[in-house]
Chains A and B, each alone.
Chain A
Amino acid sequence: MSFALNGVGLTHANGFTALREITLKAEKGERIALIGPSGAGKTSLLSVLGTALAPTVGTAEVLDFGQNFRLTVELAKLRARIGTVHQAPPIPGRQRVVTAVLAGKLGQWPAWKSLASLLYPLDVVGARAALERVDLADKLFARCDQLSGGQLQRVGIARVLYQQPELILADEPVSALDPTLALATIRLLIAEAEARGATLVASLHAVDLAIGNFSRIVGVKAGRIAFDLPASEITVPLLHDLYASEGDELPVQAHEPHFLSQAAANEAATRAACC
């Protein structure tokens, strides 16, 4: 088991209830896309999975670590095994790319190594390898404020690749990237998860990206799970119902008319590859 949420509810300090009665389980190596209108609770759900927020109701178990994420040594160890791609890359502009990537392992490194790495980056080879996978190896020693928004987002992804977590969480990881790059990046995350048997949970704004690439789709609406289905069983009416609050148009990345059938084809290809 990778994680199990049981009847999880989350009420923020200001009284706003972001999540209600969420029950969601995932096995190791599963790849799940979260979709739903903005404000539905996707980010809150990811925050609970990332132990940033403790559920106010119900129980959450992440990577065999019990509920009640209190700040302890154990929690820090758990967090080192969870990697998050954030919506806006949380990287200081003055930091160099190499340091930003290496920071992914701060939870795993001994203190002396983290300190020494501020003076001289201690794993240039590792950082370069991670950056190569997002096509940014040439920016290794550049400063982050010299990068474009899309490049910075990929540095954030390289950091997670470098961290090598068992659970990868991605909060709208590609909303700042152009469609081609977005697709490539999603595929990279999936390949990474596949290669290491890690679980991947990504919230996505574009429905077609989700259905075309993920095997399991979880629809979130008003803090609840609206549906939890294999990609092949998602229907257009189901999606229209999910996005009812945002009008008639479904949010998609590229306006390709038959993305559902394309998803089915993908599914077939995957199955063929499996057997």
Chain B
Amino acid sequence: MSRIDRDPAARSRLIGALATLVILWPLFQAAEVKPGVLFDPGNLKVIGNFLAGFLPPETGAEFMGYLAKATLETLAIATAGMALAFLIAVPMGYLATGAGREKATLNPITRSLLTILRGIPELVWALVFVRVFGLGPAAGVLALGLTYGGMLAKVYAEILESVDAAPARALRHNGAGRPLAILYGLIPQASKELASYTVYRWECAIRASVVMGFVGAGGLGQLMDQAMKMLNGGEAATILLAFMVLVFAADGFSGWLRRALDTPPANRASPFGWRSGGLGLVLVVSIVASFSYLEIGLKSLLTVEAAHSIGEFVAGFFPPDLSAEWLAKVGKGIWETLAISVVGTLLAAVAGLLLALPKWRAPFSFLLNTLRSVPELVWATITALAVGLGPFAGALALALHTTGVLGRLYAEALDNAPPAPGQALHLVGAPGGFAFLYGTLPGAAPQLIAYTLYRWEMNIRMAAILGFVGAGGLGQLLYFELSLFHHAQASTVIIAMLLLSIAVDQASARLRRWMA
């Protein structure tokens, strides 16, 4: 082969592949990945017994009443939290994004504020707010609003940056201001993705509000916690079912909304028809109803006593314990958490892509939805039974839930990828798989990579709290120290979580740039 006919990219590809292996190997070691344990007969028996306890699901009238009330509360927490998050996200996203600027500069102050909001997991926020405002939904709504506000703002900013910038640039050159250039040049391209991500986040909020019940913030989670503590498998099964119904309904709603965005506008001046009008009305009504149902008065948050207890509580966390001995322990926790997140995300990316392939979509979309509708924390209680306590259980739990999430996002990205290249390859006789690999996948790749890396950023936060149920990592440390009221030590762990999530954000952004 002559010199000019050698692929100039081959060397860097080879080095990249080797480097990936060198980095991943110790992480898999740290996550204690032992697939054999999954099929250990003893473990299989334990998990079998546990699942058998789920049948029959509890259907007593009294319990169903509790269930209905808790479901409403969960919905209300999620909706109110999302409303708060949206209020935070729109201005912050606008400030943070480089989209629509003449020079693509990013706003470092907003970005770091967003990182802090997102970097501390909602469950940790909720734990803190429960201490300050007492048990109840207010803590959940605030925790959701802050974390999800940070997440939404970041994703909005990135979606706006990822669409074709030329239309906005042209508008700016014609003298339009930045907000108008974004509205007229970028939103039309990004609206589908923005809306579908927002609705998807609302589903996540429902899941998150369930999990927050575990720390006393109300809703289905509190009910689940009680059921689990009393080892009432029947009740747990019913709660899980209710939960899945909620998520499926949200999924249907999201699909309907995306289809609605696809319909061409009616032939009249106003682009808004009865559907958009009705939707807006429902949205406003449900947000108002959520806040009044939860009886969240802002007044109670603004009293002198509240301010005092906040101050006292926060002061307890300072100064953080920075002794060498404790730092070494936290360091080990960080490494384990990182390993859990990487292994979990990778396993999920592979499984999710397989399940998202157009060919297999139909039979597996139910599976994806089921995987997705069960929160990581609940999966972790189950995987811990299957493979024993420790980081592998955490990685598996992450992988199970993330497979559902990524599978669905991948499916959407593949649907939205330009179909022409794949079709053209079908027309030259390429087998379906290769038409996909050569034609469709490259078109969807930026989206797939962005979703995976973004999910990894989420999973690092999740990996940090999976330890609450004994699945290793920083969470185990935090839970331990908080229950012993060792606030200085807990503070170190929270700071470590924040730093870890910032580091992962940076790494992820760098990887995205490198792969783009």
Binding site for B on A (CB under 8 A): 50-52, 75-84, 86, 88, 90-96, 98-99, 103-108, 111, 114-115, 118-121, 124-125, 128, 141, 163, 165
Contact between B431 and A82 (Cβ–Cβ < 8 Å)?
Answer: no
Flag whether B98 is at the interface (Cβ < 8 A).
no
- Which residues 1-30 of B have a CB within 8 angstroms of A? 1, 4-10, 13
Q: Report the minimum CB–CB distance from B483 to chain A (whole Å).
A: 49
Contact between A98 and B424 (Cβ–Cβ < 8 Å)?
Answer: no
- For B8, give the chain A residue with the smallest CB separation: A141
- For A127, give the chain B residue with the smallest CB separation: B5
Q: Report the minimum CB–CB distance from B136 to chain A (whole Å).
A: 49
**What 1/0 mask marks residues of chain B from 426 to 460 whose CB sits below 8 Å from any chain A CB?**
11111101110111111101100000000000000
Chain B residues near A111 (CB-CB < 8 A): 431, 433-434
Contacts A79-B426, A107-B428, A125-B5 given; indicate if A92 touches B10 (C-beta within 8 A).
no
Contact of B430 among A86, A98, A107 (CB under 8 A): A107
Flag whether B421 is at the interface (Cβ < 8 A).
yes
Contact between A84 and B427 (Cβ–Cβ < 8 Å)?
Answer: yes
- For B422, give the chain A residue with the smallest CB separation: A90
Contacts A92-B439, A94-B442, A118-B437 given; indicate if A124 touches B7 (C-beta within 8 A).
yes
Contact between A103 and B443 (Cβ–Cβ < 8 Å)?
Answer: no
Rounded to whole angstroms, the CA-CA distance of A125 and B440 in the bound complex is 25
Flag whether B116 is at the interface (Cβ < 8 A).
no
Contact between B428 and A104 (Cβ–Cβ < 8 Å)?
Answer: yes
Q: Report the minimum CB–CB distance from A178 to chain B (whole Å).
A: 21
Contact between B9 and A76 (Cβ–Cβ < 8 Å)?
Answer: no
Contact of B423 among A81, A90, A105 (CB under 8 A): A90
Contact of B428 among A98, A124, A163 (CB under 8 A): A163
Q: Report the minimum CB–CB distance from B187 to chain A (whole Å).
A: 22
Contact between B5 and A83 (Cβ–Cβ < 8 Å)?
Answer: no
Chain A residues near B430 (CB-CB < 8 A): 76, 103, 106-107, 114
Contacts A88-B420, A92-B439, A95-B442 given; indicate if A80 touches B428 (C-beta within 8 A).
yes
Rounded to whole angstroms, the CA-CA distance of A88 and B13 in the bound complex is 30
Contact of B429 among A77, A119, A121, A125 (CB under 8 A): A77
Rounded to whole angstroms, the CA-CA distance of A77 and B431 in the bound complex is 10
Contact between B446 and A94 (Cβ–Cβ < 8 Å)?
Answer: yes
Known: A124-B6, A141-B7. 6 other contacts (CB 8 A): A88-B420, A92-B418, A93-B442, A94-B445, A103-B439, A121-B7
Q: Top 3 A-B pairs ranked by shortest CB distance?
A: A107-B429, A106-B430, A79-B429
- For A114, give the chain B residue with the smallest CB separation: B434
Chain B residues near A81 (CB-CB < 8 A): 429
Chain B residues near A106 (CB-CB < 8 A): 425, 428-431, 434-435, 438
Contact of B424 among A86, A119, A125 (CB under 8 A): A86
Contact between A95 and B438 (Cβ–Cβ < 8 Å)?
Answer: yes
Contact between B443 and A92 (Cβ–Cβ < 8 Å)?
Answer: yes
The total of chain B residues at the interface (CB under 8 A) is 33
Rounded to whole angstroms, the CA-CA distance of A77 and B445 in the bound complex is 29
Chain B residues near A51 (CB-CB < 8 A): 427
Rounded to whole angstroms, the CA-CA distance of A77 and B427 in the bound complex is 10
Chain B residues near A128 (CB-CB < 8 A): 4-5
Q: Report the minimum CB–CB distance from A81 to chain B (whole Å).
A: 8
Rounded to whole angstroms, the CA-CA distance of A88 and B425 in the bound complex is 14
Contact between B420 and A90 (Cβ–Cβ < 8 Å)?
Answer: yes
Rounded to whole angstroms, the CA-CA distance of A99 and B443 in the bound complex is 13
Contact between A99 and B438 (Cβ–Cβ < 8 Å)?
Answer: yes
- For B445, give the chain A residue with the smallest CB separation: A94
Rounded to whole angstroms, the CA-CA distance of A50 and B440 in the bound complex is 20
**What 1/0 mask marks residues of chain B from 236 to 254 whose CB sits below 8 Å from any chain A CB?**
0000000000000000000
Contact of A94 among B5, B10, B423, B443 (CB under 8 A): B443
A-B contact pairs, 17 of them (CB 8 A): A52-B423, A76-B429, A79-B429, A82-B429, A84-B424, A84-B427, A90-B418, A92-B442, A96-B9, A105-B428, A106-B428, A107-B429, A111-B431, A118-B437, A120-B7, A141-B7, A141-B8
Among B7, B427, B433: residue with most chain A CB under 10 A: B427
Q: Report the minimum CB–CB distance from B129 to chain A (whole Å).
A: 44
Rounded to whole angstroms, the CA-CA distance of A76 and B429 in the bound complex is 4
Q: Report the minimum CB–CB distance from A82 to chain B (whole Å).
A: 7
Contact between A141 and B424 (Cβ–Cβ < 8 Å)?
Answer: no
Chain B residues near A80 (CB-CB < 8 A): 428-429
Contact of B421 among A83, A92, A104 (CB under 8 A): A92
Chain B residues near A93 (CB-CB < 8 A): 442-443
Rounded to whole angstroms, the CA-CA distance of A77 and B430 in the bound complex is 9
Q: Report the minimum CB–CB distance from A45 to chain B (whole Å).
A: 15
Chain B residues near A163 (CB-CB < 8 A): 428
Rounded to whole angstroms, the CA-CA distance of A98 and B6 in the bound complex is 12
Chain A residues near B442 (CB-CB < 8 A): 92-95
Contact between A52 and B427 (Cβ–Cβ < 8 Å)?
Answer: yes
- For B417, give the chain A residue with the smallest CB separation: A92
Chain A residues near B13 (CB-CB < 8 A): 119
Contact between A108 and B439 (Cβ–Cβ < 8 Å)?
Answer: no
- For A104, give the chain B residue with the smallest CB separation: B428
Rounded to whole angstroms, the CA-CA distance of A75 and B428 in the bound complex is 10
Chain B residues near A78 (CB-CB < 8 A): 429
